[in-house]
Structure 1
Amino acid sequence: MEVTTPTKLEYYDQMFKLQSKATLVHYFKGDDGRKALILDNTIFHPQGGGQPSDTGFVCVTNSNLRFCVQDVRSKDGVVFHYGVPVDSTMESELEQGKGKEVILQVDEPRRRLNSRLHSAGHLLDVCIRNVGLGHLEPGKGYHFPDAPFVEYKGTVPPNELQNKKREIEMEVNTLISKGGKVYAAVLPYEEAAELCGGSLPDYISPGSNPRIIKVGDNPGCPCGGTHVSDISEIISIKVSQIRTKKGMTKVSYTIGA
């Protein structure tokens, strides 16, 4: 099975859209035994960038067939919606369904939780700079509900860790209480760099058109994930731990219910 046409990522432009229509491109069973749909476009966010995938349903228009989406992954620009038909007796309709219109429905509570966790990570990046830790360089983030954290290259003196933990938590909750719109846009390289404080990370190629997330009035950053529409939707953040080890600083956090 080979699909060379990239899937259009509709959530890139319409981050808060939870229902849409698409065309079925392919239905197949992979080498690992999992069944998957490939669509011409999708509002489902695939796992990546430290964010878990969306789940939900894909329904064939004018049919009783519903496909339960349990996991979403992207490879070489093609998005794979893994799951199972709700009624296995109608599976042949999917096998013969190339070109049919389908309706996508994203699980809203899961999307909102993932978006809040991901946005909280960006807000912590802002607060790290605001409390005098601007020497820390952003690294990876893990924005899953079980143990979210953000990690930075650089260290904090051990005797300052607890004070900085308190300062970060106070600063981030002050920003949440003030609120602020969250924007996402695909921009030309130069415009994106300007919005991100004058430069972009090395992994962003000059001449490309990166997607930039801007959280309130703070500098933007490249990101492909989903986010809240306003900072206030995060509700609150508790910094559960901050530690320095092997030249890295890790800030673990939870968000309010």
Structure 2
Amino acid sequence: MDKNPTKLDYYDDIWMLQSTATLLSHFKGDDGRHALILDRTIFYPQGGGQPADTGFICIEGSDIKFVVHDVRSKDGIVFHYGDFENLGGEVELTLEKGKEVSLFVDESRRKLNSRLHSAGHLLDICLPRIGLGHLEPGKAYHFADGPWVEYKGVIPQNEIQNKQKDLELEANALISVGGKVSADILLYDEAAKLCGGCLPDYVPKESTPRIVTIGGNPGCPCGGTHVADISDIIQIKVSQIRSKKGQTKVYYNVES
């Protein structure tokens, strides 16, 4: 198996939905799933509370189509898991190392995941605007079956209902105005300035973090995919806020 890290092309262009790459290896795991490792990819691997992209990969010079059901990353290497269509008898020859492949990401799934992920960031931005600046970001779950963001700190029970309405109104007001969303890989000191003067402790000081900025707001380190403009989120519905035991969870969804 190749040990070189996979180049993440979606880091540079979030909306590159078709590309080419070179096949490095193919194997079948103990669980029966086939996996392809490429030198580069536009497929987002599950992580950071965001689900993986799906789509398909075509092998040059053949009719073989590899349907991508899941994508994972380990030690910098991206594994594309799925099944083959139109698989003939000479699979080893067809899948030899060095073959060029064409990648196609499912656009509708990418759009939904990007909207959900960006909406979570937008809620972070809105908290200080409605008087909840004391809440510190914690975990986030940006899956379509029940997205939520979690914060350290609590809201008094008698304020939750009003804050829920305020948060939804503030988020949708920003969406209506719009604003460019960008992702840039920066030197540590430059990244810190863009993020309000400091970075979280988990970002190594010798690193070049990828910083996402939403509109004219301070940026934050993030490796996920996002909308191109705040207006692309379309609309946020804050369905519930739960606040207890030192934690606050905001449940939300995006609507068309």
TM-score range, shorter chain: over 0.9
Distance apart, 1:12 and its partner CA: 0.4
User: Given that residues 27 and 95 in structure 1 are in contact (C-alpha distance below 8 angstroms), is that contact kept between their aligned partners in structure 2?
Assistant: no
Distance apart, 1:94 and its partner CA: 6.6
Unmatched 5+ stretches in structure 1: none
Distance apart, 1:62 and its partner CA: 3.0
Evaluate the alpha carbon distance shift between residue 66 and residue 93 of structure 1 in structure 2; reply closer, same or farther with a 3 A threshold. Answer: farther
- Pairwise CA RMSD: 1.2
User: Given that residues 65 and 90 in structure 1 are in contact (C-alpha distance below 8 angstroms), is that contact kept between their aligned partners in structure 2?
Assistant: no
Distance 1:93 1:87 in 2: 14
Evaluate the alpha carbon distance shift between residue 129 and residue 95 of structure 1 in structure 2; reply closer, same or farther with a 3 A threshold. Answer: farther
CA displacement, residues 61-104 of structure 1 (integer Å, 9 cap, x when unaligned): 23211100000000000000000111233561576421000000
SS at match of 2:111: helix
Distance 1:94 1:206 in 2: 45
The residue aligned with 1:191 is: 190
The residue aligned with 1:165 is: 164
> Match of 2:137, as an amino acid?
P
Distance apart, 1:20 and its partner CA: 0.4
User: Given that residues 85 and 91 in structure 1 are in contact (C-alpha distance below 8 angstroms), is that contact kept between their aligned partners in structure 2?
Assistant: no
User: Given that residues 195 and 220 in structure 1 are in contact (C-alpha distance below 8 angstroms), is that contact kept between their aligned partners in structure 2?
Assistant: yes
The residue aligned with 1:40 is: 39
Query: Does 2:252 align with 1:253?
Result: yes
Distance 1:91 1:216 in 2: 52
Alignment of 1:19-98 (within 5 A): 19-89=18-88, 92-93=91-92, 96-98=95-97
Alignment of 1:144-223 (within 5 A): 144-223=143-222
User: Given that residues 235 and 255 in structure 1 are in contact (C-alpha distance below 8 angstroms), is that contact kept between their aligned partners in structure 2?
Assistant: yes
**TM-score between both structures, scaled by the size of structure 2:** 0.97
Distance apart, 1:147 and its partner CA: 0.2
The residue aligned with 1:143 is: 142
> Match of 2:143, as an amino acid?
F
Distance 2:220 2:26 in 1: 36
- Work out the number of aligned pairs and report it: 256
**TM-score between both structures, scaled by the size of structure 1:** 0.97
